[in-house]
Amino acid sequence: MTRNGKIELMAPAGNFESLQAAIDSGADSVYFGVEQLNMRARATINFTLEDLPEITRRCGKRNIRTYLTLNTIIYDHDLSIIKTVLDTAKESGVTAVIAMDQAVIAYARQINMEVHISTQINITNIEAVKFYCLFADTVVLSRELSLRQIKKICSQIEKEGVKGPSGNLIEVEVFGHGALCMAVSGKCYLSLHSHNSSANRGACKQNCRKKYTVIDQESGFEIELDNEYMMSPKDLCTIDFLDQIIDAGVKVLKIEGRGRAPEYVATVIKTYREAIDSYYEGTFTKEKIDVWMKALEKVYNRGFWGGYYLGQKLGEWSDGPGTQATQKKVYVGKGVHYYPKPGIAEFKIEAYDIKVGDTLLITGPTTGVKELQLDQMMVDDLKTAMAEKGNNCTFPTGFKIRPSDKLYKIVKE
């Protein structure tokens, strides 16, 4: 649901570091998977059923909604697991389940749990929305729709008073930022064909992200392509036309990235939070968009394009196999102790040296993601400009660190 009349900013959480990063960076809601029945079953370390109470506890303290993804194709042997997962989610206070299989939708309704329809259903018109409003309070529209088509659906929901089971007008969610699949709303069969590993069961092998050569089988002539990664779309980015998305009537903006690092979640959610707030404050400007784009370019991305929203045809392909981020993190060491009175943290340096002036990143399941500039530090109670592998160093952080925390330094690419 919208927060304070604003579009809801929905964040990915693949682990507790990312979850805390989303909470600290201004997310209104988070989505996550448990066990293997979600579309990122192999892309990240999923939460377990035992984690659900802690997830809802952390989010509940900040009035953040929690969404469980159970959006894969379901087979008969999955049905008992589905019921166990949904029962546990309901008992743990999870807000809603994101689903595409009728078995999940039906059981969630049976136990009176809020349902959101996944993009895999491919909702593209108002009549489909009116059908699914019998089961769901939020629908994720097909990723192939233009903003003009989305605006028409949103206006028809208002005009016809289309309501979900909660009695409220059904809300429209769209995909706002992150990795795009070349297939229609993510329904791809390449991985199943090549590796017997179904993308629609959360086990995508990402065939589309690889380099291919096309050969004429009759002549043996090799066709030269102007892009070697012709099935790997650039990442979606909507921050430069976010105002148009909000004006279209969209209520929920989903950020993709359960398989990406916690600093990705922190940066992207913080940036979109600023952009959303700026829109409602009337300060959404081209100058700010330029600053936000530079921030988004720092973390993992395959280059950016605006998807289908502005009526563009598919053709914005990435020109490399991995990230085009302008900076990366390098592992340095791990947390040892925190001294609360002076606000000083101690770390064991296990890999690369650090020196005064470095930008450091600290991540942890409870700490989340924290970035700081190293202005001073000590080794063996002596002030120093550098700490080397094997040293224990201390420096002020202003926030608590824990032995489970990891220390990185940020370097330019």
- Direct distance between the N- and C-terminal alpha carbons of the chain, in angstroms, rounded to an integer: 39
For helices 79-92 and 102-110, angle between their N-to-C axes, nearest 10 degrees: 40
Reported pTM? 0.84
Low-confidence ranges of the chain (pLDDT < 50): 1-2, 41, 43
Q: Residue 1's pLDDT is what?
A: 46
Provide the 8-state DSSP code for 352.
S
Q: Residue 224's pLDDT is what?
A: 53
Q: Residue 221's pLDDT is what?
A: 67
Closest CA relative to residue 369, chosen from 283, 314, 298, 277: 298
Q: Residue 396's pLDDT is what?
A: 95
Q: Residue 305's pLDDT is what?
A: 80
Ramachandran assignment for 88, one of left (phi > 0), alpha (psi -120 to 50 degrees), beta (any other): alpha
What are the residues facing 360 on neighbouring strands? 372, 409
Closest CA relative to residue 271, chosen from 244, 248, 290, 251: 290
Provide the 8-state DSSP code for 312.
P
CA dist 314 and 307 (Å) reads 7
CA dist 401 and 335 (Å) reads 7
Tokens standing for 12? 């990915």
Q: Residue 310's pLDDT is what?
A: 85
Q: Residue 271's pLDDT is what?
A: 97
CA dist 261 and 248 (Å) reads 31
Q: What residue spans of 137-261 are helical by DSSP H? A: 147-160, 190-195, 242-247
pLDDT tens digits, 281-337: 999 999 999 999 999 999 888 778 888 888 765 555 555 556 677 788 889 999 999
Neighbours of 377 (CB within 10 A): 23
CA dist 143 and 383 (Å) reads 55
